[in-house]
């Protein structure tokens, strides 16, 4: 029934060795993206969204270990990939827009230098300088950057936060081919530019048939941009359904809490939010990691990890309230 | 435009520092106890001879007059007469300074190349046996004083396994090339005497290495630390994600910001070598300015003390200036924001 997927993550575990122990951050993430599909990933800060994405490109920091799991991209296992193949994956197949543009840009090189190297290793152009420069300028202009030629000569610290973000987006969009990962791409942008950038991403995805993973804190943006949404809590996917279903018929208590916390447009009603906070990854709760915050928790939630199962056509949830 | 402004600013600052230093050292040298004229002439000299020397040195004048007279001389290249060698101090400096300069240039090259290379490799392969070895050596290098290295090298390469010369500047049965620059290696090349050049160069190696060990270790440690730090920055992740090869990321994108602290340390260490070379020069019987300076202090040879300190001060100022230029080149934030 499903179209062949471009990315398939199964039971991914990622731990961080830190002073004082091991942080068991990702605890069995299942995640799939189909060809040309736009997938959203939501969940509160610290739940492991960025960590999941970095695993796909194998750019996790040194102290990370992956004790278990599979990441299949276009039929190839990423975690055991040879250096050369990995290089091709990073440069030519997957692009990522990083969450923090200030940190993602090298402070002591010009924008031009960085954007040109990015394009050079993306395999989209012959490597002559003139072509590369033109692609770079066009990419910047596409992202509503005034005077791209001048921007190329600037250093990151000479640009505003929003401009830096657009530079990062431009780099990713210029080189995206099979999969674009956008980790909160519009947080620093004002509403007009935000719309412009989102439209740009949408157009790119449509024209090139690029698949998209969009991480966002704005459920509004997720609703507008995606076909399907994954909800993550403390290193696990707790629910997945088509965007429409998630908003209309959320199953998991966490998803329901998340939707309740959107401030209503009418201005009535305060943000509800979910009481409590994410667990300590050094010593996470047993069973379902959400049970300490869950109003519907049952005895078995403390003991067993709920399986991530399909409870309705294409709608999966990891919660003992629902049986497949 | 901006970089010219930056350079002028730094030059003015350098002159200011040098003048301040000269005033300070001039006064300190004169207020420390001991009568220089008496010390120069010895305890048995008649009082009238001492009085004459005092007058000749203007030691009976108020100190600001002495300073003024000294400054007038310096502006004409005259640092006064040494009470010990009885020659113009400037002639002594001209003789001893190039020897130490030569030593320091070689030491600086060893320190810079060795320190950066070891630090960078150690950071790249952090956790490996190579990294552990470098860290151990660097640790030993930092805690062991230069003269101890000098003695160790001398024992190893001079006696146990005698492959390098250990005393003086050049083989005693070779003719010393005519002095042009005062740098033995350059002078022998100018004279077209390659054998002398080889000998002069080999004579530099052990003292230079001994002198460089501490700074090289320091530089390796700092480079390692700052490269590790930069390697864990987000931009490395984004550069990797863009498919830029790891080799290019390290050699270009990570090395440049990592060198900023290293450059500062190395340059100041090099300037400090002028003073620190004393024991190394002593061990290797090397006729350098550091030895000359210490002798001047022991004999309270006023003009020589002030001149040597001014030379060392000048070296610091020049090195600082060079550091500022290199750091400004490496870090655009400094270059473009006006040297803050
Ligand atoms: N290098 C690291 N060392 C130790 N812990 C880390 C490291 N990187 C991430 N973590 C931990 O992993 C957890 C998940 O982090 P991650 O960045 O994936 O969260 P996120 O869902 O992207 O959050 P946000 O919405 O704030 O970006 C956090 O608790 C964080 O502290
Ligand atoms: Mg994140």
Determine the Cα–Cα distance for residues B294 and B271; give it in Å rounded to an integer.
17
Domain annotation covers residue B11: no
The mean of the pLDDT values for chain A is: 90
Evaluate whether B257 touches A107 at the Cβ level (below 8 Å): yes
Ligand nearest to the CA of B233: 1
Ligand nearest to the CA of A216: 1
Of A107, A123, A168, the CB nearest to B257: A107
Residues of chain B with Cβ-Cβ distance to A114 below 8 Å are 239
Helix (H) or strand (E) holding A305: none
Of B234, B241, B331, the CB nearest to A90: B241
Fold of the domain built from segment(s) A7-322: Rossmann fold (3.40.50)
Evaluate whether B339 touches B10 at the Cβ level (below 8 Å): yes
Pairing of strands A211-215, A179-183: parallel
For CA atoms A119, A120, A122, A124, the dihedral sign is positive
Most A CBs within 10 A among B237, B240, B243, hence the mutation to make, goes to: B243
| Average of per-residue pLDDT across B77-103 | 87
Exposed / middle / buried, residue A73 (Cβ in 10 Å: 0-12, 13-18, 19+): buried
pTM (whole model) above 0.90: no
How many domains is chain B partitioned into structurally? 1
Q: If you measure from the C-alpha of residue A168 to the centroid of ligand 2, how many angstroms do you get, rounded to a whole number? A: 15
Q: Is the pLDDT of residue B116 over 90?
A: yes
Backbone phi, psi, residue B171, to 5°: -55, 135
- Output A306 or B46, whichever has higher pLDDT: A306
* Ligand 1 proximity of A308 Cβ (cutoff 6 Å): no
For residue B340, the model assigns a pLDDT of 43
* Ligand 1 proximity of A25 Cβ (cutoff 6 Å): yes
Q: Is the pLDDT of residue A168 over 90?
A: yes
* Ligand 1 proximity of A99 Cβ (cutoff 6 Å): yes
- The answer, for B19 touching chain A at a CB cutoff of 8 Å, is no
Question: Tell me: the pLDDT tens digits for B297-333?
Answer: 888 888 898 898 888 888 888 888 888 888 888 888 8
Q: If you measure from the C-alpha of residue A106 to the centroid of ligand 1, how many angstroms do you get, rounded to a whole number? A: 21
> Residue B230's domain is classified under what CATH number?
1.10.3720
Determine the Cα–Cα distance for residues B304 and B86; give it in Å rounded to an integer.
11
- Output B41 or B135, whichever has higher pLDDT: B135
For residue A42, the model assigns a pLDDT of 95
Most A CBs within 10 A among B124, B235, B241, B250, hence the mutation to make, goes to: B241
For residue A309, the model assigns a pLDDT of 93
Tokens 């005062």, residue? B182
Domain annotation covers residue B37: no
DSSP states of A152-201 as a string?
HHS-GGGS-HHHHHHHHHHHHHHH-SSEEEEESTTTTS-HHHHHHHHHHH
* Nearest-CA distance B122 → chain A (Å): 15
Helix (H) or strand (E) holding B136: helix B129-143
Residues of chain B with Cβ-Cβ distance to A96 below 8 Å are 238, 241
**Domain map of chain A by residue range?**
7-322
Q: Helix or strand or coil: residue B172? A: coil
Domain annotation covers residue B17: no
Q: Is the pLDDT of residue A302 over 80?
A: yes
Determine the Cα–Cα distance for residues B19 and A145; give it in Å rounded to an integer.
51
Domain annotation covers residue B127: yes
Pick the residue whose CA is nearest to atom 3 on ligand 1. Answer: A16
The mean of the pLDDT values for chain B is: 87
Question: Is the Cβ pair A108, B241 closer than 8 Å?
Answer: no
Q: Which atom of ligand 1 is nearest to the CA of A44?
A: 25
Q: Is the pLDDT of residue A266 over 60?
A: no
Q: Is the pLDDT of residue A104 over 80?
A: yes
- The answer, for B2 touching chain A at a CB cutoff of 8 Å, is no
Pick the residue whose CA is nearest to atom 28 on ligand 1. Answer: A46
- The answer, for B244 touching chain A at a CB cutoff of 8 Å, is yes
Question: Is the Cβ pair B237, A122 closer than 8 Å?
Answer: no
* Ligand 1 proximity of A40 Cβ (cutoff 6 Å): no
Percent pLDDT > 70 in chain A is 94
Please count the other Cβ atoms lying within 10 Å of the Cβ belonging to residue A213: 25
Q: Is the pLDDT of residue B191 over 90?
A: no
Q: Is the pLDDT of residue A269 over 50?
A: no
Question: Tell me: the pLDDT tens digits for B267-305?
Answer: 888 888 877 888 888 888 888 888 888 888 888 888 898
Percent pLDDT > 70 in chain B is 98
Determine the Cα–Cα distance for residues B218 and B152; give it in Å rounded to an integer.
19
For residue A1, the model assigns a pLDDT of 42
Determine the Cα–Cα distance for residues B300 and B255; give it in Å rounded to an integer.
47
Most A CBs within 10 A among B226, B238, B337, hence the mutation to make, goes to: B238
Evaluate whether B258 touches B226 at the Cβ level (below 8 Å): yes
| Average of per-residue pLDDT across A41-63 | 94
Query: Which range marks the domain in which residue B178 is found?
Result: 96-291
Instruction: State which residue of chain A sits closest to B127, comparing Cα positions.
Output: A62
Q: If you measure from the C-alpha of residue B184 to the centroid of ligand 2, how many angstroms do you get, rounded to a whole number? A: 62
Residues of chain B with Cβ-Cβ distance to A103 below 8 Å are 233-235
* Nearest-CA distance B173 → chain A (Å): 54
Of A94, A96, A107, the CB nearest to B333: A107
Domain annotation covers residue B244: yes
């Amino acid at each position: 029934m499903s179209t062949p997927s471009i990315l398939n993550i199964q039971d991914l575990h990622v731990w961080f060795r830190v002073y004082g122990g091991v942080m068991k951050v990702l605890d069995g993430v299942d995640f799939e993206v189909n060809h040309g599909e736009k997938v959203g990933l939501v969940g509160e800060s610290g739940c492991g969204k960025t960590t999941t994405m970095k695993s796909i490109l194998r750019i996790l920091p040194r102290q990370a270990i992956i004790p278990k799991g599979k990441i299949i991209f276009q039929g190839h296992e990423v975690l055991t990939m040879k250096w050369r193949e990995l290089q091709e994956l990073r440069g030519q197949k997957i692009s990522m827009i990083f969450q923090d543009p200030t940190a993602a840009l090298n402070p002591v090189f010009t924008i031009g230098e960085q954007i040109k190297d990015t394009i050079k290793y993306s395999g989209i152009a012959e490597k002559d300088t003139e072509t590369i420069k033109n692609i770079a300028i066009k990419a910047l202009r596409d992202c509503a950057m005034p005077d791209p030629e001048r921007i190329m000569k600037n250093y990151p610290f000479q640009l505003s936060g929003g401009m830096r973000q657009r530079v990062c987006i431009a780099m990713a969009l210029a080189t995206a081919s099979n999969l674009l990962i956008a980790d909160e791409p519009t947080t620093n942008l004002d509403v007009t530019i935000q719309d412009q950038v989102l439209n740009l991403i949408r157009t790119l995805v449509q024209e090139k048939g690029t698949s998209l993973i969009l991480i966002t804190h704005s459920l509004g943006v997720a609703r507008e941009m995606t076909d399907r949404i994954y909800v993550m809590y403390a290193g696990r996917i707790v629910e997945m359904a088509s965007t429409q279903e998630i908003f209309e018929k959320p199953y998991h208590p966490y998803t329901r809490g998340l939707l309740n916390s959107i401030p209503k447009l009418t201005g009535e009603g305060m943000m509800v939010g979910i009481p409590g906070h994410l667990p300590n990854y050094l010593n996470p709760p047993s069973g379902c990691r959400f049970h300490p915050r869950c109003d519907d928790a049952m005895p078995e939630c403390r003991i067993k990890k709920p399986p991530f199962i399909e409870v309705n056509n294409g709608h999966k949830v990891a919660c003992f309230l629902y049986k497949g | 435009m901006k970089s010219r402004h930056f350079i002028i600013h730094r030059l003015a600052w350098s002159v200011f520092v040098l003048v301040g230093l000269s005033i300070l050292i001039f006064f300190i040298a004169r207020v420390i106890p001991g009568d220089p004229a008496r010390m120069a002439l010895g305890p048995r000299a008649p009082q009238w001879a001492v009085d004459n020397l005092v007058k000749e040195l203007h030691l009976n004048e108020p100190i600001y007059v002495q300073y003024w007279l000294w400054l007038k001389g310096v502006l004409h290249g005259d640092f006064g007469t040494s009470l010990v060698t009885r020659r113009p101090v400037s002639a002594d400096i001209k003789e001893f300074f190039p020897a130490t300069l030569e030593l320091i240039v070689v030491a600086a090259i060893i320190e810079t190349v060795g320190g950066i290379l070891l630090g960078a490799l150690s950071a790249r392969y952090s956790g490996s046996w190579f990294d552990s070895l470098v860290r151990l050596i660097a640790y030993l290098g930092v805690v062991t004083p230069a003269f101890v290295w000098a003695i160790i090298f001398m024992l190893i390469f001079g006696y146990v396994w005698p492959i390098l010369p250990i005393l003086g500047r050049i083989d005693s049965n070779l003719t010393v090339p005519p002095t042009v620059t005062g740098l033995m290696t350059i002078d022998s090349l100018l004279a077209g005497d390659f054998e002398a050049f080889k000998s002069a160069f080999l004579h530099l190696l052990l003292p230079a290495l001994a002198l460089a060990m501490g700074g090289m270790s320091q530089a390796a440690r700092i480079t390692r630390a700052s490269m590790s730090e930069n390697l864990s920055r987000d931009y490395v992740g984004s550069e990797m994600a863009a498919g830029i090869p790891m080799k290019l990321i390290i050699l270009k994108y990570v090395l440049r910001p990592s060198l900023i602290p290293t450059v500062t340390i190395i340059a100041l260490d090099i300037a400090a070598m002028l003073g620190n070379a004393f024991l190394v020069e002593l061990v290797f019987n090397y006729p350098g300015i550091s030895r000359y300076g210490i002798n001047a202090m022991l004999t309270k040879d006023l003009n020589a003390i002030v001149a040597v300190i001014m030379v060392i001060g000048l070296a610091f100022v020049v090195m600082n200036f060079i550091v500022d230029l290199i750091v400004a080149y490496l870090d655009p934030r400094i270059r473009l924001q006006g040297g803050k």
